[in-house]
A and B are shown apart, each in its own frame.
Chain A
């Protein structure tokens, strides 16, 4: 069974440029997460989708970040414009999505490493 797929794996851009990351979750997983991982830190949740609905985007910096999950499958995370401090690894995860269950295991993709120059 294929895992969570993310692309690109690496991206280098200049500041003020836009950038987009793509995620394809595990087939049948209804819940999708985007995490930010800074160097030396653990992942931090940016946004969580249940099907196509963003049910928690409280940690998403909405002035420059946006996300969408059309048709409740693939998702795209966008930054416009990128800043130097956005350099990090952006991880996508998915889970089956048993509503209200805190025991729903999340499976992570390999991440996109963004470098903003």
Chain B
């Protein structure tokens, strides 16, 4: 039972344009959401997070939006750069499942075309 879903396995955007990666979740008890970025042969790297008490968190070119009623979050990258090409994983956690157990989506491969 996939509690965190990333329905787009891949996304291609032109350099300088906006990249929007989407994520849906089913467990209403999730209270913290994260995005990880993964390059080949490396482990996932933490990118940005958002608590369920907020609907937006921004860090430089990266912004995460949370829509709790729709159980949906998205990651916006503006402007996109070739170095952003990687697999992006959405993850979520809830206190009831254990202090910090993360549930991951299946990932979206972003390709930024120079």
Contact = CB atoms under 8 A, between A and B. Distances in A.
Contacts of B102: 43, 45, 106
Interface residues of A, number: 30
Contacts of B114: none
Contacts of A109: 43
Say what secondary structure dominates the interface of chain A: loop
B45 A55 contact: no
A111 B104 contact: no
A14 interface: no
A91 to B, nearest CB: 6
Interface residues of B, number: 27
A42 B95 CA distance: 20
Interface string B81-92: 000000001010
B106 A42 contact: yes
B98 A48 contact: yes
B99 A104 contact: yes
A95 B45 CA distance: 13
Interface in A67-83: none
Given A102-B95, A104-B100, 18 more contacts: A41-B106, A42-B89, A42-B106, A45-B101, A48-B100, A55-B99, A56-B101, A93-B43, A100-B95, A100-B99, A102-B32, A103-B51, A106-B46, A106-B100, A108-B36, A108-B44, A109-B43, A110-B41
